[in-house]
Structure 1
Amino acid sequence: MKNIVLTLTLLTMGISTEMKAQQTDVQAIEKTLNYYLTGFKNNDAVTLSKAFHPTATMKWSGENYKEVNAIEALTKGMDGTPKKEKIFTRVVSINATRNAASAQLEIEFPTFTYIDFMHVLKIDGNWKIVSKIFTKREKE
């Protein structure tokens, strides 16, 4: 009986420790994602760049499929002046397992919304966006 209680106690402690670690990781991922959202909203290349690995890609399809370096494409023309339009941003979801995660974000402008899908990896102890794909939803 003592072995069963000990086993259950250790199992519970292990699950609790893993859940706390995952919760901490989700908070760190959200912080990374908010560097991107805040930097985007404020035209702040320095803040936005904190979110991305230097070789992160951004991909999308419209008339043609395109793939670019995310930091270069997103920071081009950023001067630190916040956007004049009212923009609402939010992290819709984060799905994390060990050192990998995916997230869905929304950046809502008055007439359309960008929907971003991010892949995030824990690299040298820090969470970084390594790829972004997105689509655009027009408002009706």
Structure 2
Amino acid sequence: MRISKLLLHSFCLLLCLSFSVKAQSEDDAIKTCVNNYLDGVLKGDAARLNLAFHPTAMLRTVNTNTGALQDIPVAKFIATTPAGGIETKGGSTKLVGYSYIGVSALATVELRFGDFKYVDLLSMLKFGNDWKIVSRVFSRTDLDTQVKGTAASASPVATTNKPAVKKSSSANVKPKADDGW
């Protein structure tokens, strides 16, 4: 009896640890991807940048002179990263925050220079066990400009006082094909 209790407690402890390790490893994997990007930019390390980005990733912004969408292929971005990185120009990097669910993640980072900064929104997808940046959307701003909004504290945009609609059971309904939505 005593041995079976000990085995049961050991199994429960092992099960709890495996769940916390899984959750922690997702966070670590996302941070690894983001840190590969930040360190790659900071030090001008093309190998780290290649680890961070998916080969088909696109960098996007709005050209402030023309108002047109500006697309930069990741290969061009990596090739034009300054030797020695932004660190040699007094630059620094910062992870502002990140969130994820399923196979998608979003990180907000800052690349600071002497009198301005870039704020990047990095869209990531999970390929196997690795997270890769698939899109970098960025803005050049003043140093004192703060990132606004947060999903955690946001209130609903619009609320209605309609009664809840009773949904029928979907227990025996076959799922529709995944149409991407």
Greater helix fraction, Structure 1 or Structure 2 = 1
| Structure 1 residue 86 corresponds to structure 2 residue 87 | no
Residues 78 and 115 of structure 1, relative CA distance in 2, 3 Å threshold? closer
- Following superposition, the deviation at residue 100 of structure 1 comes to 1.2
2:76 corresponds in structure 1 to 73
8 A Cα contact 2:112 2:143, kept in partner: no
Higher relative contact order (CA 8 A, sep 6+): 1
Greater strand fraction, Structure 1 or Structure 2 = 1
1:118 corresponds in structure 2 to 122
| TM-score, scaled relative to structure 2 | 0.62
1:45 corresponds in structure 2 to 46
- CA root-mean-square deviation: 2.1
Deviations 1:57-116 (A, max 9, x none): 11110232112322x132123464244222121111110112211110011111101100
Cα distance in structure 2, aligned partners of 1:69 and 1:97 = 26
Cα distance in structure 2, aligned partners of 1:116 and 1:80 = 21
| 1:46 maps to amino acid | A
Larger Rg: 2
1:137 corresponds in structure 2 to 141
Counting matched residue pairs gives 126
| TM-score, scaled relative to structure 1 | 0.79
8 A Cα contact 1:43 1:79, kept in partner: yes
Residues 65 and 100 of structure 1, relative CA distance in 2, 3 Å threshold? same
Question: Structure 1: 5+ residue runs without aligned partners?
Answer: 1-9
2:161 corresponds in structure 1 to none
